[in-house]
């Protein structure tokens, strides 16, 4: 039996696994490293967060994006946009050096019982673990607006459904949304020869400002602190004090999860977007149907109804943290879990433990409990150490069953060799 099974190998799963393995826990990690970043983001995208705010977490704080950039020969500097591909390679490098061998099989079932949990994989094998950390990322929770959700996927896709947008060259594509994913997808479509149209409920497109310099006089730093989620005191609190957000009332937390850090485009994208992508702002989708091999959208607008015919719709409409969509959880286990307020996200302890002892949740599913930092990579640096503390406490309380050899840990010599290879 393993001490901990980590379900997912993105930034949160890798960070938790790195801490657990370094602490000597028998750790089993399921998933392909950085899979959603490798396969579900279009080529040509850039990281919106600052490089220093996009580090994965290891106990020593040594395996940073800046260190990998120095090894790989590219700068990871404040105020310089970083290609998604470089960040993905960093995650793979982190996994090689900080996490014991990954099990790339898909987990299809997690059930509680006896002295821990049973984790089942797609090929029919089961393993036992005393604790489980769910770090599945955002893909199970994609949100497509109701009128669009009924149409076939060859006509409507989510923005996470495309690694390569070149197939849309010469076609008209309607992109729904006003956040970074929508704006950057529309821009890449235009640059790739497609004819994009942006449709959004918002009355205007918001743009982030150029980040303030790191090196500033003390008074300016006090007036406008810099954090992993941007500048300003509100962003600083969300970024650096997730525990404080968790202590708020359910209603307040739900409001923050719904409204904080709303849709906005990165400052470096604005020049590429404006003048190239036509917009229909303050337009709401009332209906959608197929008409002569195309999608006909019925929109409500301030001036009256509008109809748009398009070859394809890309819904860059975000994600909904909902336990009911996490089908890998056994229904009886899912029914046991307390939720936050009126939503379907799990209520969590200060250490990210659910109401089922030994079961932890990270990332998007923890955002309604801990605030918007959990929607970003930056949240992993808070989450991983907090979960490690709880794992130690839980494992001390429960007896250890029969012995399972711990996975081999990389030797310092081998580690140095892999650094050179990275």
pLDDT digits (tens, 9 = 90+) for 308-342: 999 999 999 999 999 999 999 999 999 999 999 88
At residue 143, the pLDDT reads: 95
Between CA 93 and CA 98, with CA 96 as vertex, the angle to 5 degrees is 100
Q: Name the nearest CA neighbour of 92 among 418, 365, 388.
A: 418
Domain ranges across the chain: 2-141+319-421, 146-207+264-315
Evaluate if residue 166 carries a pLDDT over 90.
yes
At residue 401, the pLDDT reads: 58
Q: What is the CA radius of gyration of the chain?
A: 22
The residue-averaged pLDDT of 130-154 equals 95
Scanning the structure block, which residue is given the tokens 């810099």? 226
Annotate 94-162 with three-state secondary structure: HHHHHCCCCECCCEEEEEEECCEEEEEECCCCEEEEEEEEECCCCHHHECCCHHHHCCCCCCEEEHHHC
Band (pLDDT 50/70/90 cuts) for residue 400 is low
Residues β-bridged to residue 353: 360
Evaluate if residue 412 carries a pLDDT over 80.
no
The residue-averaged pLDDT of 2-24 equals 97
Minimum mean pLDDT range among 156-160, 213-217, 307-311, 386-390: 213-217
At residue 240, the pLDDT reads: 92
Other Cβ atoms within 10 Å of 82 Cβ, number = 21
* CA 127/CA 375 separation, integer angstroms: 30
At residue 399, the pLDDT reads: 64
The residue-averaged pLDDT of 61-73 equals 95
Quote the percentage of the chain above a pLDDT of 70.
94
* Average pLDDT across the chain, whole number: 91
Report the length, in residues, of the chain: 422
Evaluate if residue 107 carries a pLDDT over 70.
yes
> What global pTM score does this model have?
0.90
Evaluate if residue 7 carries a pLDDT over 80.
yes
The residue-averaged pLDDT of 373-393 equals 95
- Those residues whose C-beta lies under 8 Å from the C-beta of residue 115, and which sit 6 or more positions away, are 1, 130, 398, 399, 401
Give CATH superfamily name and number for 2-141+319-421: FAD/NAD(P)-binding domain (3.50.50.60)
8 Å CB contact between 271 and 264: no
Domain 146-207+264-315 class? alpha beta
Do the domains at 2-141+319-421 and 146-207+264-315 have one common CATH topology? yes
Evaluate if residue 406 carries a pLDDT over 80.
no
- Those residues whose C-beta lies under 8 Å from the C-beta of residue 84, and which sit 6 or more positions away, are 37, 41, 45, 46, 47
Quote the percentage of the chain above a pLDDT of 90.
80
Largest CA distance in the chain: 70
Evaluate if residue 192 carries a pLDDT over 80.
yes
Band (pLDDT 50/70/90 cuts) for residue 361 is very high
Residues β-bridged to residue 291: 294
Evaluate if residue 206 carries a pLDDT over 50.
yes
At residue 398, the pLDDT reads: 72
């Amino acid at each position: 039996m393993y001490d901990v099974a980590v379900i997912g190998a993105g930034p949160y799963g890798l960070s938790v696994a790195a801490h657990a393995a370094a602490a000597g826990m028998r750790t089993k990690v399921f998933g392909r490293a950085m899979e959603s970043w490798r396969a579900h983001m279009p080529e040509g995208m850039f990281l919106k967060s600052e490089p220093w705010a996009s580090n994965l977490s290891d106990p020593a704080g040594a395996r940073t994006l800046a260190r990998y950039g120095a090894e790989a020969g590219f700068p990871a500097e404040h105020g310089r946009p970083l290609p998604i591909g470089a960040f993905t390679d960093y995650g793979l490098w982190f996994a090689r050096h900080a996490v014991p061998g990954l099990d790339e099989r898909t987990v299809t079932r997690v059930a509680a019982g006896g002295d821990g949990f049973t984790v089942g994989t797609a090929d029919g094998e089961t393993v036992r673990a005393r604790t489980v950390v769910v770090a599945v990322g955002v893909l199970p929770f994609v949100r497509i607006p109701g009128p669009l959700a009924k149409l076939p996927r060859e006509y409507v896709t989510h923005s996470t459904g495309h690694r390569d947008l070149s197939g849309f060259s010469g076609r008209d594509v309607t992109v729904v949304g006003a956040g970074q994913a929508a704006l950057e997808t529309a821009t890449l479509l235009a640059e790739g020869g497609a004819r994009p149209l942006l449709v959004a409920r918002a009355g205007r497109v918001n743009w982030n400002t150029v980040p303030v310099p790191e090196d500033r006089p003390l008074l300016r730093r006090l007036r406008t602190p810099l954090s992993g989620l941007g500048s300003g005191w509100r962003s600083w609190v969300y970024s650096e004090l997730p525990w404080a957000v968790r202590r708020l009332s359910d209603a307040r937390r739900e409001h923050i999860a719904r409204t904080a850090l709303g849709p906005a485009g990165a400052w470096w994208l604005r020049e590429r977007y404006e003048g190239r992508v036509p917009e229909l702002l303050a337009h709401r989708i009332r209906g959608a149907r197929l008409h002569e091999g195309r999608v006909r959208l019925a929109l409500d607008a301030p001036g009256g109804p509008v109809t748009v015919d398009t070859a394809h719709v890309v819904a860059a409409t975000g994600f909904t943290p909902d336990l009911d969509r996490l089908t890998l959880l056994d229904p009886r286990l899912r029914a046991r879990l307390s939720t936050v307020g009126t939503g379907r996200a799990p209520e969590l302890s200060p250490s990210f433990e659910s109401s089922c002892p030994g079961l932890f949740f990270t990332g998007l599913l923890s955002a309604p409990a801990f605030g918007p930092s959990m929607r970003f990579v930056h949240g992993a640096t808070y989450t991983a150490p907090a979960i490690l503390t709880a794992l130690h406490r839980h494992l001390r309380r429960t007896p250890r069953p029969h012995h399972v050899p711990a996975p081999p840990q990389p030797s310092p010599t081998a580690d140095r060799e892999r650094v050179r290879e990275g």
